[in-house]
Each structure stands twice: as structure tokens, then as C-alpha cells.
Amino acid sequence: MNTPVTLSPEQIATLTDVRHALHRRPEVSGQEVETAAHIVERLRDLDADQIWQDLGGHGVAAAFDGAAPGPTVMIRCELDGLPIPEQSDLQYRSEIADNSHTCGHDGHMSMVIGVAMALCDKRPQRGRVVVLFQPAEETGQGAPAVVADPRWVELRPDYAFAIHNLPGLALGAVQLCDGVACCASRGMQVRLTGKSSHAAAPEDGVSPAAAMATLMTSLPALSSGGALQAGFKLATLTHAQLGEATFGIAPGVGELRCTLRAVTDADMADLIERAEAEVRAIAARHSLEVNISWHDVFSATVNSAAANVEVMRATKRQSIPLRAAAGPQRFSEDFACYGLDGVETAMIFLGSGVDQPQLHNPDFDFPDTLLPVGTELFLVLINQLLGWAEDA
């Protein structure tokens, strides 16, 4: 029972091939058609008991049932790549010019295929394992769409686990957050409308320029600074556009985008209120119409104590170094959605090396050495909660 789980060299070679194949064909959020088809084909080959397709978009899930009733354990990964041209000389580099797997979702998918491979050989003793290949993580739209799918009731787990690789953390080490694992975030899009005029007579128009200039400093000034804990708030200006690229027209429209971030959903609600009040006050002062819309909405991802205990036990069994997290990650994860339903969830960070390029950098590549580490960790979690026949 306490011996570590280890994949065979043949299994590791297969997972490496799977990752390289996925790495070559990255598809962006909401367009993961080929990737989903590839995954379905593999799950069929691995004798899944049930397969669901087109979940919340192009999502795919498969169930592997134990002989006796018991809890459902979900292992989740992401299907999507990014609209970032890859910079690498890798033999398996992206064949799609503008897209890349620079968040490592190719690696996450391969680890979950590894779980399905093991389940193909040996079902759990009781309960059910659901492997979920979720679409559109990068935009935050995938998980809410999966949970909103009428078929979610067939999949709904008691426990859900996900691994995200983490550059900056020692290769193969695990970092587990107590409580909040990833910040809440959302994109604020502001459109200010006045009236354009001849550039020779700006007094005839209503330009949003001064209001834009104010907001470009006053919105980021809503940030709290300080440690990543309750109370932390960050507003980052990401885009601004004013009028047309001419010399003859004074602008009548201005648009800016700002990403709000907070550790807790309550702090996010407060930051939203302040940001909206600021935009409306400045717009009113400059006699501008204002339209505010929200995009890429992520709740805070919160690890449950019960799920964390299981991860700690599993890392111990596998002799994986466990690093206490100083706090949550600043980035967001739509994995948060699965925990909103009373499901015990843990987002596990698996170190991809201290010198690894950061996620979403054009030269990021998921380290293959992590493939067995992540797969084996998932298998130990499944064993702890559902057992294998041999441990009966």
C-alpha cells in the first residue's frame, strides 16, 4: 500500500509521444476541434466505460467505473493552446503558425491520458473516475460552460483534482496552497463616447482624451500593493485606443481595458464597485457617455481542506518534495467553478523548474520529465480514495 506508484518506461515513452503530438497542433480556446477528436480516439482505445463529447464547447470526459459503488473522483486538464507564436527549435514545435502550447496544457492532457492508460489496465475498486479534458480555460469560459451543461449531473464528482505546472518552482516539487490557490480576476472594458470634430475646431466636439488620460492612471491606482492575501487588489491597464490614426479629426470615442485581480471574491466585488464608480465619475465630469462590459470572469480558486489532506498524503507516498505556498498565485484558473458546488477540490502546482520560461512566454515548453510525476500523483490520489483491486 505504501510503495510508490511508478509508470513503466514504455508508458512514459507513450506519454511523451502523446505530448509531442498535442504540442504540434495547438488550438485556441473554443476551437479545440482536432484536439478533442484526438483525445476521444485515445479514450476509445483505452476502453473507457462512457465518453461524453462537446461538453461546454469541445470538452471531452470519460468515466472508468469500479466494481462497487463509491465516490466519484474527477481529474481535470485543459484542451486549449494560446494565440502566441512559438519561439523554439524543437523538433515537435507547433505546426500552427500563430498558436502554441505555451501554458503546458499539452503536458497536462498527457498526464491525464496516463491516468486513463492505467485505468484501462486496472479499474478502481469502488466508485468512479472521471477524466475531464476541459475546453477554453484560457478565456475562463470553459469550466462555467461545462458546469452549465445539462450532462454535468452525470459527471459531478465528490473530489476534483487538477495539476498546473509552475515555472519558478523546483522541477518535480509540489506546491499546495492552503485555501485560495489562484486569484479572482476579470476584464473591464470601458467605452467612452463623446463627439468627434475637425481637428481645427476641437471646441466643437467632446473628446474623451482627458478622461482617458485620467483613467489610465486612476484605475491602476486602485491597486492595494502589499502581500498576496485577503485585501490584495490589483488593477492592470492592458489596452487603450483613442479616436482614429489621423491628424484631421479630434476623437469622439475612446476605449480602454483593465484587468482587475483580487485574492478573495469579496475583495473583487469591492474593486469592481470602485472601478465602476471611478469610470462613471470621470465620464460625467467630461460629459461623455459610458459603457462598461465585463469579460474573462474568473472566481478565486479555493482548495478544500479535505482535498489538500489527500494531496499531502499522496506526495508523501511518492516522496515528492512539498513546498508550502507563501500565498496564492496571481493568475486565475476557471477550475474555481468545480469547487463552487460543494465539491472537494485541490489545484496542485507542479514545479517546471526554476529556470523555466514563464507561462505564456513564446519559448515556454512543458518539461517531459514531469509526465510520470503528475500521472503517478493522480493515480495515488485515486488509489487513496477508491482503491485498486490489488489493495483490497
Grid cell 480602454 in the structure block, residue: 256
> 100 or 384, CB closer to Zn ion?
100
> 61 or 103, CB closer to Zn ion?
103
> 142 or 172, CB closer to Zn ion?
142
Task: Name the phi and psi angles at 328, rounded to 5.
Answer: -75, 170
* 259, amino acid identity: T
Q: Which three cell numbers stand for residue 130?
A: 472521471
Dist CA 71 CA 51 (whole Å): 18
> 103 or 235, CB closer to Zn ion?
103
Q: Which three cell numbers stand for residue 266?
A: 469579496
Instruction: Give one word for 294, left, alpha or beta, with left for phi > 0 and alpha for psi -120 to 50.
Output: beta
> 212 or 336, CB closer to Zn ion?
336
CB of 80 to Zn ion, least distance (A): 8
Residues 55-94: x where in contact with Zn ion by CB under 5 A, - otherwise, as a string: ----------------------------------------
Of 23-31, 99-107, 194-202, 248-256, the segment contacting Zn ion by CB under 5 A is 99-107
CB of 108 to Zn ion, least distance (A): 7
Task: Identify the CA nearest to 113 among candidates 338, 374, 343.
Answer: 374
Of 95-103, 167-175, 266-274, 344-352, the segment contacting Zn ion by CB under 5 A is 95-103
Task: Identify the CA nearest to 132 among candidates 147, 151, 112.
Answer: 112
> 103 or 370, CB closer to Zn ion?
103
Dist CA 129 CA 117 (whole Å): 12
In the region spanning residues 198 to 257, those forming contacts with Zn ion, defined by CB under 5 A, are none
CB of 364 to Zn ion, least distance (A): 10
CB of 6 to Zn ion, least distance (A): 27
Dist CA 377 CA 197 (whole Å): 63
In the region spanning residues 299 to 358, those forming contacts with Zn ion, defined by CB under 5 A, are none
CB of 361 to Zn ion, least distance (A): 11
Nearby residues of 238 by Cβ (< 8 Å), 6 or more positions away: 187, 257, 258, 259
Of 21-29, 38-46, 98-106, 320-328, the segment contacting Zn ion by CB under 5 A is 98-106
> 43 or 162, CB closer to Zn ion?
162
Task: Name the phi and psi angles at 324, rounded to 5.
Answer: -70, 140
CB of 331 to Zn ion, least distance (A): 7
> 103 or 337, CB closer to Zn ion?
103
| DSSP structural state of residue 218 | H
CB of 367 to Zn ion, least distance (A): 15
CB of 138 to Zn ion, least distance (A): 5
Task: Identify the CA nearest to 193 among candidates 128, 261, 251.
Answer: 251
Member of 28, 46, 77, 103 binding Zn ion (CB under 5 A): 103
Of 103-111, 152-160, 247-255, 282-290, the segment contacting Zn ion by CB under 5 A is 103-111
Number of residues located near Zn ion, criterion CB under 5 A: 1
CB of 103 to Zn ion, least distance (A): 3
* Nearest-CB residue for Zn ion: 103
> 183 or 190, CB closer to Zn ion?
183
Q: Which three cell numbers stand for residue 78?
A: 485543459
Dist CA 96 CA 276 (whole Å): 39
Query: How many beta carbons lie within 10 A of that of residue 116, not counting itself?
Result: 22
Query: How many beta carbons lie within 10 A of that of residue 210, not counting itself?
Result: 13
| Structure-derived torsion over alpha carbons of residues 100, 105, 107, 110, reported in degrees to the nearest 10 | -120
Binding site for Zn ion (CB under 5 A): 103
